Structure 1
Amino acid sequence: MTENSFFSPRLSVEQVEEGKVLAPKFDGNGLLPVVTTDAETGDVLMMGVMNKEALLQTIKTGEAHYWSRSRKCLWHKGATSGLIQKVVEMRIDDDQDAVWLRVAVDGGASCHVGYRSCFYRAVPVGAEDGPLELSYTETEKAIDPKEVYGDAPNPTQL
């Protein structure tokens, strides 16, 4: 199956905003932002991006696929770690340029650092000067990253 059998051309504002066809709008780099939440709790697990292939693979398999900007390749979430994100529901926003995935995660973690969520620190709001000190919202790691990933290099680029 090709993208043409899944994605419709964007013909009008009405069709995109009120129609019943999937007509995603990828940015200039060919990407869509994706917010991923836990289907049971509603907690935000991660924010990523999808290119056309990642969106197609997610639709076809029911498992989350992303585009890795740091590695510049298609990324099947959990293929290495076993922490597969099974899509419970996929939504697209009103102008079809952002995706929301509600997922169930095998293994209970989505963050390569070991926390359940990639959003495990809070930023103080209302501060008048810095540097700002972050506070942890998760106190324990859900997985041991070295046990799951071994000595693989950290995918985050500084």
Structure 2
Amino acid sequence: MDIKYNSSGLVPVITQDAETGRVLMLAYANTEALSLTRSTGYAHYFSRSRGRIWKKGEESGHFQKIETIRVDCDADTLLYMVHQTGVPCHTGYETCFFRELDGKIIARRLVNPDEAYDKKDE
């Protein structure tokens, strides 16, 4: 299937827990990140802020093992169904969608991000 990448060569990737169905995060992939994801079985993304590909968990050890990759009807968004090791969010929460629009926290912080992530790249 031909994926429709945007003008920057990226496609949005929604990542969902394969066991619970909980939406974990949204990131982007380019053709190389998608190829690495498919060949290794672990989620790879393209970091727009760092300008490079990264394997989820490369700094924290909180990896995402791919169960399946789905494509939406327009072929312009991907859905990674994953088995999450640790937490998906760099803030330490169990999902990147841990707060409501008014700021109310609705999810649990499972780890201290200062202990789990290398902050030198931020």
Answer yes or no: same fold by TM over 0.5.
Answer: yes
| Higher strand proportion (structure 1 or 2) | 2
Q: Which residue of 1 aligns with 2:48?
A: 69
Q: Which amino acid aligns with 1:137?
A: I
In the TM superposition, what whole-angstrom CA distance separates every residue of 1:11-59 from its partner, at most 9, and x where no partner exists? xxxxxxxxxxx21111100000000011111111000000010010011
Distance 1:112 1:142 in 2: 11
Aligned: 1:106 with 2:85? yes
Greater RCO, CA 8 A, separation 6+: 2
TM-score by length of 2: 0.94
Distance 1:27 1:46 in 2: 19
Q: Which residue of 2 aligns with 1:135?
A: 104
Q: Which runs of 5+ in 1 are unaligned?
A: 1-21, 124-132
Q: Which has the larger radius of gyration?
A: 1
Aligned: 1:27 with 2:11? no
Runs ≥4 residues deviating over 4 A: none
Aligned: 1:145 with 2:113? yes
SS in 1 for 2:37: helix
Q: Which amino acid aligns with 2:111?
A: I
Distance 2:55 2:121 in 1: 17
Percent identical among aligned pairs is 42
Q: Which residue of 2 aligns with 1:37?
A: 16
TM-score by length of 1: 0.74
